[in-house]
Amino acid sequence: MTSPATIARPSALRSFFRAEMGTFIMALVIISLSVYLILPMLILFWFSFDVSTDVFVPPREFGFSNWSTAFGNPRIPTALWNSFLVWFLVMIIAFPISVAISMVLARTKIPFSQGLEFFFWIAYMFPALASTIGWMMMLAPTSGFVNVALEALPFVDKGPFNIFSLEGIVFARIMADGIAYKVILFTPAFRNMDQALEEAGRVSGASKLGTILKVTLPVMASPLILVFALHLIRVFQGFETEWLLGARWGFYVYSTLIYLQAQSFDYGQAVVTASLTLVVIGFIFPIQRWVTRRRHYTTITGKFHPGLIELGAWKWVFFSAILGLLIVLTALPILVLIVGSFMNHVGYFNAVPTWTLDHWRDTFSDELFFTGLRTTITLAVVAGVGSPLLFSIIAYLIVRSKWRLRTSLDSIIWVSAAFPGILSSLGLLMLFLSVPGLTWLYGSIWALVLVVIISGNTTGTNIFKGVLVQLGADLEEASRVSGAGWFRTYFRIVIPVIMPTMVLIGMLNFISAANTTSSIILLASRDTITLSILALELGSSDLGQVERAGIITLVIMAMTMGVALVMRAFALRVGLRQDMRARDVQGRPLAAPERTSA
How many secondary structure helices (H) and strands (E) does the chain include? 31, 2
Q: Could you give the CA distance from residue 359 to residue 344 in angstroms, rounded to a whole number?
A: 8
- pLDDT, position 297: 47
Average pLDDT for 454-459? 79
Distance CA 382, CA 380 (A): 6
Q: How confident is the model at residue 595 (pLDDT cuts 50, 70, 90)?
A: very low
Domain annotation covers residue 8: no
- CA-based nearest residue to 87, from 206, 241, 217: 241
State the pLDDT confidence band at 372, using cuts at 50, 70 and 90.
very high
Tens of pLDDT, residues 552-593: 989 988 888 777 777 766 666 655 554 445 454 455 555 544
Residue 246 has a pLDDT of 86
Report if residue 51 sits inside a domain.
no
Query: Does 34 fall in a domain?
Result: no
Is the residue at 98 inside a domain? Answer: yes
* Helical spans, DSSP H, in 264-331: 267-275, 277-293, 314-326
Look at residues 237, 321, 312 and name the one whose alpha carbon lies nearest to residue 280: 237
Structural domain harbouring 107 = 71-597
Q: For residue 290, what is the domain's CATH number?
A: 1.10.3720.10
Of the candidate ranges 20-29, 274-283, 514-523, the one whose mean pLDDT is the lowest: 274-283
471, β-bridge pairs:
300
CA atoms within 13 A on the CB side of 581: 11
pLDDT in tens, 53-95: 766 667 777 888 777 877 777 888 888 889 888 888 988 898 8
What is the dihedral sign for C-alpha 452, 456, 458, 461? negative
Range 119-140 average pLDDT: 84
**Percent of the chain topping pLDDT 90:** 7
Residue 507 binned pLDDT confidence (cut-offs 50, 70, 90): confident
Query: What is the number of domains present in the chain?
Result: 1
Cβ-count burial 413-437 (b if 16+ within 10 Å, e if not): bbbbbbbbbbbbbbbbbbbbeeeee
The stretch 362-375 carries a mean pLDDT of 92
For residue 166, what pLDDT is reported? 92
Percent of the chain with pLDDT over 70: 74
Q: Is 18 a member of any domain?
A: no
Q: How confident is the model at residue 361 (pLDDT cuts 50, 70, 90)?
A: very high
| pLDDT of 276 strictly over 80 | no
Q: Is residue 26 domain-resident?
A: no
Instruction: Supply the pLDDT for residue 293.
Output: 53
Give the model's pLDDT for residue 592. 45
CA distance linking residue 99 with residue 88, whole number of Å: 16
Domain-embedded: residue 382 = yes
Lowest mean pLDDT among 89-93, 256-260, 337-341, 513-517: 256-260
Q: In this structure, are residues 442 and 376 in contact, taking their beta carbons and an 8 Å threshold? A: no
> What does the mean pLDDT of the chain come to?
76
The answer to whether residue 384 scores a pLDDT higher than 90 is no
- 535-551 residue pLDDT tens: 888 877 667 788 888 89
User: Could you tell me if residue 369 is inside a domain?
Assistant: yes
Looking at the predicted structure, is the pLDDT value of residue 338 above 50?
yes
9 — pLDDT class (breaks 50, 70, 90) = low
d(CA 182, CA 124): 10
* Structure confidence at residue 279 (pLDDT): 63
Average pLDDT over residues 29-57: 78
